[in-house]
Amino acid sequence: MAQAPAPKPWIDAIHAYVPGKSAGDDGRPLVKLSANENPLGSSPMALAARAAAQAPSLYPDGDSTALREAIGRLHGIDPALIVMGTGSGELLHTATGAFAGPGDEVLYSQYAFSLYEIVARRCGAVPVEAPARDYGNDVDALLGAVNERTRVVLLANPNNPTGTYLPRAEIARLHAGLPADVLLVLDQAYAEYVDPRRDDGSLALAVRHANVLVTRTFSKAYGLAGERVGWGTGSAAIVAVLNRIRGAFNVSNSAQATALAALQDQHFVEQSRLHNAAERNRFVAAIGALNNHGLRAVPSEANFVLVLFEGGLTGETAYRGLAERGYIVRWLPGQGLASGLRITIGQRADMDAIAAALREMAEAA
């Protein structure tokens, strides 16, 4: 007789998600630029609402009604077509698990968000990676990897960890090339950081087609990563499926109240976007000035930049050197990016200090 319950083999194959670190190997607290959190914190209105939220002894509204209505008003979406998640991560899991299972394939790009492999494996599906182009999603490569076993395609735009962005025409071309029975999940975790004039058309696609789910989060530009609130929108049929299998009371009292107030403070979101764009531009220019030392920044539309180290200074040495100077960023050898550091755009003084430290290390290498 077996000694203990055995997890399914596909569960055994999962390596746990690795979150961004907040301390050095020696336990010293560091400035955390490893998890794409908002350096401006949270909206004061959101913090006030959090403090005044309904008592924790009571169950929350299991349908997050007021929050869905407010999201619907802001984005011009019927609230009945919005489903809430404990972060958008929960929705990526529920959507993939609802439409794919053992024997099926879940497709995404090389250098995609690391959660995608976990999401695919958790439901027993086979994760399939299409080659990236210039560190970003390549529509031709993705379409070329589709076959009769493909059930779900996951694509983040902007992409994490590379920051790359596909324009509206490319997202439309990807959708048009997919069979109608393949679910296209457009993960817009960083959408609020994109200049609104460059909107990729995902929400409009989700309204018009039966095989598109868009996911969004309050974790990034809304500054509420700790409250765990995300949402998705798609056809009535997709939303009904997700509502049947998501956690019954998945969004807590305080999370609903905090996100609702955050939504009403669009000034904070706008400030977050403008701060990010300005500091990202300055940082990318500083990296550009180090091109002769082999450093370059992958073009980013997100709240982080992937810096590649192709000269004397390696990604690993730069990672350790920044940690010695008090900054923790993300080094991603496990994702095939040993020569790159993903650096969250933080406050101005921190970005200046990081740029200066990289210059010093590159010149010394």
Ligand X SMILES: Cc1ncc(COP(=O)(O)O)c(C=O)c1O
Strands 337-344 and 304-309 come out as: antiparallel
Number of residues in contact with ligand X, rule: CB under 6 A? 13
What are phi and psi for residue 87, nearest 5 degrees? 80, 160
Alpha carbon distance 47, 264 (integer Å): 12
Tally the C-alpha atoms within 13 A of residue 47's C-alpha that lie toward its C-beta.
7
192 binds ligand X (CB under 6 A): no
Provide the minimum distance between the beta carbon of 79 and ligand X in the complex, in angstroms, as a whole number: 19
Provide the minimum distance between the beta carbon of 159 and ligand X in the complex, in angstroms, as a whole number: 7
Number of neighbouring beta carbons within 10 Å of residue 58: 8
230 binds ligand X (CB under 6 A): yes
Number of H helices, E strands in the chain: 13, 13
Q: What does the block give as tokens for 17?
A: 């998600």
232 binds ligand X (CB under 6 A): no
Provide the minimum distance between the beta carbon of 334 and ligand X in the complex, in angstroms, as a whole number: 15
Question: Smaller CB distance to ligand X: residue 60 or 87?
Answer: 87
Q: Nearest-CA neighbor of 262 among 36, 43, 40, 38?
A: 43
217 binds ligand X (CB under 6 A): yes
89 binds ligand X (CB under 6 A): yes
Q: Nearest-CA neighbor of 146 among 157, 138, 135, 158?
A: 138
Q: Which helix (H) or strand (E) holds 217?
A: strand 212-217
Q: Which of 187, 265, 279, 301 binds ligand X (CB under 6 A)?
A: 187
Provide the minimum distance between the beta carbon of 140 and ligand X in the complex, in angstroms, as a whole number: 22
**Binding segment toward ligand X, per CB under 6 A, in 8-16, 84-92, 252-260, 262-270:** 84-92
- The residue whose Cβ lies closest to ligand X is 87
Provide the minimum distance between the beta carbon of 218 and ligand X in the complex, in angstroms, as a whole number: 7
Q: Which of 46, 171, 189, 308 binds ligand X (CB under 6 A)?
A: 189
The DSSP code sequence of 195-215 is -GGG--SHHHHHHH-TTEEEE
344 binds ligand X (CB under 6 A): no
Binding interface with ligand X (CB under 6 A)? 36, 87-89, 113, 156, 160, 187, 189, 217, 219, 225, 230
